[in-house]
Amino acid sequence: PMGKRYAVFGTPISHSQSPRIHAAFARQTGIELDYVSIEAGHDDFAAKLAASGAQGANVTLPLKEDAFALCRETSERARRAGAVNTLIRDGDGWRGDNTDGLGLVRDLTERHGLDLRERRVLLLGAGGAARGVAPALLDAGISALFVVNRTPERADALADAMGEPGRVHARGWDALPALGEFDLLVNATSATRGGALPPLPMALAGLRSAAVDLSYGEAAVAFLAWARAAGCTHAMDGLGMLVEQAAESFLLWHGVRPETDPVYAALNGQGDALVTA
């Protein structure tokens, strides 16, 4: 292959859609590149990254904090998240950014037409994905963010890191019945992989509520079925976020933001199949 090399690192990585997405963006914009997936864990990530010859990289589970730690420079949004999903080569080192949160916000506001301003938001989970999206939701102008996590200390830590005690609140799972109705519910847990989600009170959602699961496909089915049963008008999986965060990474590397709608449609089984080069 010609052109510059890019890669996504994580475990497991074989199911990653990122190589297909970036190949589609490359064809669309006429930029020559080669984007591969590389299996790596905490122990071998740094060595594999160095050996890859990549000009840029995406980083997924469980390496976003490892990536943060090896950057010589990080963006403000990456520092607020404490996690890096996008590495940009800088001489013999790396700059780190995090496009997950903006990816989610763009999917919700531009693809699905939601207005996030003054909205009351429930964030389930306090892991890497939750930390990535919380700052972007706050920047989008929501009125309140309730972070609810199985391990309450992690919810506390996330809320503290946002530095906005008036707008961000941490709660344990047992507090859910008392929280009232939310405009937007975000499932940022990895439940279904790590066991079923505990039962959610129907009163959390109503006819004006929207729900999004950051996972996609089979992993998102249970939460989205609950959301529809609870009356949510929008129930979306994380495929849109995945494509949007990829487009933001592409913009950082190549200086051009690709069209995301055709790629989203293809991954969603609606548009033309993505040609695999």
Site map (CB under 6 A) of ligand NDP, residues 11-50, x = contact: ----------------------------------------
Q: Which of 34, 66, 97, 100 binds ligand NDP (CB under 6 A)?
A: 100
Q: Is 190 in the site for ligand NDP (CB under 6 A)?
A: yes
Q: What string of DSSP letters covers 12-26?
A: S-TT--HHHHHHHHH
Beta pairing, strands 93-97 & 86-90: antiparallel
48 is catalytic: no
Question: In the complex with ligand NDP, which residue's Cβ is closer, 4 or 197?
Answer: 197
Q: Which of 93, 194, 201, 271 binds ligand NDP (CB under 6 A)?
A: 194
User: Does 238 engage in binding with ligand NDP (CB under 6 A)?
Assistant: yes
- Helical (H) or strand (E) element with 187: strand 184-187
Do residues 33 and 5 touch, judged by C-beta distance below 8 A?
yes
CB atoms within 10 A of CB 17: 18
The Cα 58–Cα 241 span in angstroms is 14
Looking at the DSSP assignment, which residues form a beta bridge with residue 59? 9
- Decide: is 111 part of the binding site for ligand NDP (CB under 6 A): no
Q: Which one of 149, 209, 249, 260 is in contact with ligand NDP (CB under 6 A)? A: 149
Q: Which position among 31, 36, 46, 61 is part of the footprint of ligand NDP (CB under 6 A)?
A: 61
66 binds ligand NDP (CB under 6 A): no
- Position 201 contacts ligand NDP (CB under 6 A): no
Within 8 A by CB and 6+ apart from 252, the residues are 56, 86, 88, 97, 99
Extract the annotated binding site for shikimate: 16-18, 60, 85, 100, 216, 245
**Residues noted as catalytic:** 64
